[in-house]
Structure 1
């Protein structure tokens, strides 16, 4: 083979090699894309399967609850977490659970199992009033509040509407008081050289603005609002507990302090020490507990978890973290 022929044919051989290499690489990329698409498809298929399984499982749970309600039982309603609108322990949820429990002819007694730091006085008041209304309407069914870890503030407000209150010796009970907190940023604004401009059509419309100095008459007014709410709280507790409260000689009873279950028993804040099983078995006489607490569906719980996760990621990305209860 001559040198001229080799020189002429060499570029063509190199071109074929590069074309073959390019074809191989493109085929690999296409295969990766295909595998990725199939992976996404199977993941979606798995989610659809799980959602379907949860949707099928929910009616089975309801059937089990219905079957359990076919016998005499103690109705259990959880009051857990903050008492506020749109929360699990909202008035709508608790009141709905109470009505369902009282309407069931097999209910022999109702237990409110409480583990809550309190919350909205309005929501607590709604629940308090409904408990007393249902008690008057169904005098053969008694309501028992059982405080587990914590029954404070609005949670104790609710408990005081029950026929009797039980707690553990180490439970935290009480905190009969009202609080409202904010911050004052006036000096910070001055140091930063930032001017606050607020436009209102009422003399005191912005009296809670943390960026403006407090005025004595507005502070006095706001204290009056809190005192009025506190008085309403005290009146409701007294009405619910009656002469069981050891008010005489204990002026600190309504001061916002909180006590252990053992101390609360001595003060008349609770009636006895005990848990839910004890009350159902020994007091009500129907040891079978049926949960009437309003529950989110599995799909709702999943959606809330996804929403909370997304919100947390966004907060981290933006460098903002909202307030948290500790």
Structure 2
């Protein structure tokens, strides 16, 4: 007759199933790319916000692949580069683990920069992909000040300290400086795409005009590797693997359930960026 010890020894310990099951770790990269921290960590992407999720994803035992679930209209180029470089740094430590990117509604501008950090890129046939370009914008208020009789007083040390001041008349030399900055950033973006996509790119320089394409056309141009969503591709490539989300640590305000007013202001500003793609 078996003893209690014999019976309990046959009960699987918590975590045993996870230890035996292959894992595809998923990291959500959703929202506008910005260095500005969000009080609720919603709708923004930056290195500080996603670092913990990326680290957890690559630290899984029996890891078969890391999937990046991307839905972003872009944003700050530096944060795009920092996050993409961090993904590659972690991937280099696990050379046998592929990184797959899945574009949802939009992977445009900085969103596509992030996608290029993956070894393979997939999208839905209706996804918006590309926008390999640089844009900046603002307003000029000089006429408004004149109308209300407001005098602008600005004091600087350094002849170029007040470049593109919205309350001063626009200067041709300032616009020329900005265009040079844009050209340099654009070159960095183009080089990154060419480095990561290589011979898979089938289009010409029209790829880098800032245009955006639906997933079907993006596949023809070599911007992505295939059409499909995360679950179907993972089921096909890794049928025995379990999909596990790698969640980032929540900021203090999110854990306390406060910060709604700030989140509302943030949502309005981000809506302007999303609206460029009809979303």
In structure 2, the CA distance between the partners of 1:243 and 1:119, relative to structure 1 (3 Å rule), is: same
Task: Report the number of matched residues.
Answer: 251
TM-score by length of 1: 0.71
Compare 75-84 and 91-100 and name the one that shifted more.
91-100
Q: Select the structure with the greater relative contact order (CA < 8 A; seq sep ≥ 6).
A: 2
TM-score by length of 2: 0.82
RMSD: 2.4
Q: CA deviation at 1:301?
A: 2.9
Aligned partners of 1:286 and 1:129: how far apart in 2? Answer: 30
Q: CA deviation at 1:186?
A: 1.4
Aligned partners of 2:222 and 2:108: how far apart in 1? Answer: 15
* Aligned match of 1:145: 101
Aligned partners of 1:154 and 1:69: how far apart in 2? Answer: 35
Q: Where in structure 1 are there 5+ consecutive unaligned residues?
A: 1-63, 316-320
Aligned partners of 1:291 and 1:324: how far apart in 2? Answer: 25
In structure 2, the CA distance between the partners of 1:302 and 1:128, relative to structure 1 (3 Å rule), is: closer
Q: CA deviation at 1:229?
A: 0.9
SS of residue in 2 equivalent to 1:325: helix
Q: Which residues in structure 2 correspond to 1:233-312 (within 5 Å)?
A: 233-248=189-204, 251-296=205-250, 300-301=253-254, 303-304=256-257, 306-309=258-261
In structure 2, the CA distance between the partners of 1:324 and 1:173, relative to structure 1 (3 Å rule), is: closer
* Contact persistence 2:253–2:259 (CA under 8 A): no
Compare 87-96 and 143-152 and name the one that shifted more.
87-96
Q: Where in structure 2 are there 5+ consecutive unaligned residues?
A: 1-13, 273-279
Cα deviation, 1:62-117, whole Å, max 9, x if unaligned, reads: xx9x7774321100000011122324422123333222222222211000001111
Mapped pair 1:72 → 2:26? no
* Contact persistence 1:110–1:143 (CA under 8 A): yes
* Contact persistence 1:245–1:268 (CA under 8 A): yes
Greater radius of gyration (CA): 1
Q: Which residues in structure 2 correspond to 1:79-90 (within 5 Å)?
A: 79-85=29-35, 86-87=37-38, 88=41, 89-90=45-46
Q: CA deviation at 1:286?
A: 4.1
Aligned partners of 2:34 and 2:263: how far apart in 1? Answer: 20
